[in-house]
Structure 1
Amino acid sequence: MTVPPSLVEASESLKVFPLPSAVLLPHSVLPLHIFEPRYRELVRDALAGDQVMALAQLAPGWEPSYAGRPALQPLMCAGLIVWHEVLENGRYNILLQGVCRARLVSELPAERLYRQVRVELLPDFPYEGPEEEQLRQAVFELAGRVPPSFSEGLLPAVARASGGTLADVVAAAIIPEPERRQELLAELDVRKRLDAVTGEVGELMARLQPVKPTGPLN
């Protein structure tokens, strides 16, 4: 995976938005409503520059100190703002596209309302193995148990993706829980990540019944 030069440059002072309720995965897009003053400033500065920012989870026990600078989980996702809408009172709606995993190295001194960190970017290495086809087959089987509106968007992406990208695309589509998404974000071994997401697809299928045909059978 080739990391865009803008992310490489930003890795020394990466703008970070800690959000306990959501986890961004590479190769997925997350809609966000930005209303806190410190994150309105973050988005404003990002839009005026390279459009780069990261989404991060807070370490357990963050609740009493959310207004300050509670500890961050070490693995986060760096991404690009690919669309934005300016609202009244300086708020924003944005679409943040995940690009690359990043490991926290250090937090920079507070110079802005928002937080900035130095990170090590962690792009996936190319990978080929039987786990890819196993995950694809599991997703094709899942498509027979979910409404077409869901599978129509997922199947073309699964057909094109490979390696770690394949695992991330599927995980972003089927796993809503932030805790589990963070676990997969932190899994740097592509083979293990593919296996884990295949297991998640299997568990989802076990909870679903096949969708009944709505048209004529012949």
Structure 2
Amino acid sequence: MTTALERIERTTQALKVFPLPSAVLFPHAALPLHIFEPRYRALVRDALAGDKVMALAQLEPGWEGQYGERPPMLPMMCAGLIIWHEELPDGRYNILLQGVARARLLSELPSEKLYREVRVQLLPDPVYQGPEEERLRQAVFELAGRVPASFAENLLPVVARTQGGALADVVAAAVIPEPERRQELLCELDVRKRLESVLDDVGELIARLSPVKPVGPLN
């Protein structure tokens, strides 16, 4: 059976890419997207007709004046799989994109298509086990006592079974909203440093939040 990473590897010479300044996708995390621009409707339509692979990328600063063209992209992006989609009557799409692997931009392909395609090098994480994993898990468990129960219930089972760089990625995807900070962590290839960085972010979040007060009578 073909793995998700193997499916991505087959596309590295012509990877469909959606540059979206407001969002950063992490491996091992899913991101809902609403697709409405004609060029990206074409991208999603072609992806769904084939391997369901596409990447999400950030644009270099100063893109605003040329968004409708092909402004330069930051070199680190995330390649993923469309794991769910809904086509709307007017041709728009709602999709759920599951991140699979970091990808470094090598070159952009000349294309007559509406959307952009690139050559990339995939950068899957090496296997890593270290004390930073357990420290991050403990911090997330502490954070769970300070956030809505529904949020904690979704995050805790994932954190309990995830290891290494994937652990840093799923926590970052859940608790860090700022695209600039998310991009920094996407660019961090050293798994130990990434775990430590996300631990710092979780620690700062804990410090800003008060514990959730229990509801109802205490026994």
TM-score normalised by L of structure 2: 0.97
Structural RMSD (CA) = 0.9
Aligned residue in 2 for 1:124: 125
Aligned residue in 1 for 2:203: 202
Q: Is residue 2:31 matched to residue 1:42?
A: no
Letter of the 1:117 partner, please give it.
V
Aligned residue in 1 for 2:144: 143
Structure 2 distance, partners of 1:84, 1:145, is 33
Please say if residues 102 and 122 of structure 2, whose CA atoms lie closer than 8 Å, have aligned partners that are also in contact.
yes
Partner deviation per Cα, 1:38-72 (whole Å, 9 max, x = no partner): 00000000000000000000001111111111000
For the residue of structure 2 that corresponds to 1:10, the secondary structure is coil
Map 1:143-162 to 2 at 5 A.
Answer: 143-162=144-163
Map 1:18-57 to 2 at 5 A.
Answer: 18-57=19-58
Aligned residue in 1 for 2:76: 75
Aligned residue in 1 for 2:97: 96
Structure 2 distance, partners of 1:145, 1:60, is 35
Unaligned 5+ segments in structure 1 are none
Please say if residues 135 and 198 of structure 1, whose CA atoms lie closer than 8 Å, have aligned partners that are also in contact.
yes
Please say if residues 8 and 121 of structure 1, whose CA atoms lie closer than 8 Å, have aligned partners that are also in contact.
yes
Q: Is residue 2:190 matched to residue 1:189?
A: yes
Aligned residue in 2 for 1:115: 116
Structure 1 distance, partners of 2:85, 2:218, is 45
Note the C-alpha offset of 1:89.
2.0
Please say if residues 26 and 101 of structure 1, whose CA atoms lie closer than 8 Å, have aligned partners that are also in contact.
yes
Structure 2 distance, partners of 1:63, 1:74, is 18
Note the C-alpha offset of 1:90.
1.1
Partner deviation per Cα, 1:95-152 (whole Å, 9 max, x = no partner): 0010100000000002210000000000000001110011011011111111211110
Unaligned 5+ segments in structure 2 are none
Structure 2 distance, partners of 1:23, 1:4, is 19
Please say if residues 5 and 101 of structure 2, whose CA atoms lie closer than 8 Å, have aligned partners that are also in contact.
no
Structure 2 distance, partners of 1:3, 1:190, is 21
- Over the matched positions of the two proteins, sequence identity in percent amounts to 74
Letter of the 1:71 partner, please give it.
P
TM-score normalised by L of structure 1: 0.98
Letter of the 1:176 partner, please give it.
P
Letter of the 2:47 partner, please give it.
A
For the residue of structure 2 that corresponds to 1:85, the secondary structure is strand
Please say if residues 3 and 100 of structure 1, whose CA atoms lie closer than 8 Å, have aligned partners that are also in contact.
no
Note the C-alpha offset of 1:80.
0.3
Letter of the 1:139 partner, please give it.
V
Please say if residues 131 and 194 of structure 1, whose CA atoms lie closer than 8 Å, have aligned partners that are also in contact.
yes
The 4+ residue runs of structure 1 with deviation greater than 4 A are none
Note the C-alpha offset of 1:88.
2.0
Letter of the 1:154 partner, please give it.
L
Letter of the 2:186 partner, please give it.
L
Letter of the 1:204 partner, please give it.
L
